[in-house]
Amino acid sequence: MPPGVWDEVVTAGARQGRSEVAVVERCVSDGDVREAGLDGPQRRRAQGLRSRFGLGVGESEILALGRAYELVLIDDHRATRAASALGIRSIETILIPALCVQAGVLDAAGAFELLAAIARHTTIPAELALRVRRLIEEAKP
């Protein structure tokens, strides 16, 4: 998780009293998520991507780091399109509940709860949330 995402999710989330802050902090302490710093070239690349694609700080930092990884997790559709243009594979955050059911990590009830939490904290279209809900209903572990 680059600094911009940490600021958006954890720092700002703590000020707003958001429940996902505790989840992220637990994931960091368990080693499932780690803070990733950007070196000078990566920071410059992030700034260029922000300008080029009209992205936020967190999304541009994720994509700047994305070259080093096979896959990035993004919750912004514009950033997903930018990733594709850059040749970086991405998964939109909203799909995670359906993928968790397919992998047998969550049951449908847990996936619906996660989907609702993601929908509350992102700006996804209602139509997309309904499509993911159908994917959860149809998913087979």
Tell me how far apart the alpha carbons of residues 89 and 110 are, in angstroms, rounded to a whole number.
26
Strand residue runs (E) in the chain: 71-74, 89-92
Residues 92-113 pLDDT 10s: 888 989 999 998 888 999 899 8
Both tokens assigned to 125: 């279209």
Task: Count how many Cα atoms sit within 13 Å of the Cα of residue 110 in the half-sphere of its side chain.
Answer: 9
Tell me how far apart the alpha carbons of residues 94 and 129 are, in angstroms, rounded to a whole number.
7
Residues 60-83 pLDDT 10s: 999 999 878 878 988 877 898 999
Residue 18 backbone class (left: φ over 0; alpha: ψ -120 to 50; beta: rest): beta
Question: pTM for this structure?
Answer: 0.78
Residue 141 has pLDDT above 70, yes or no: no
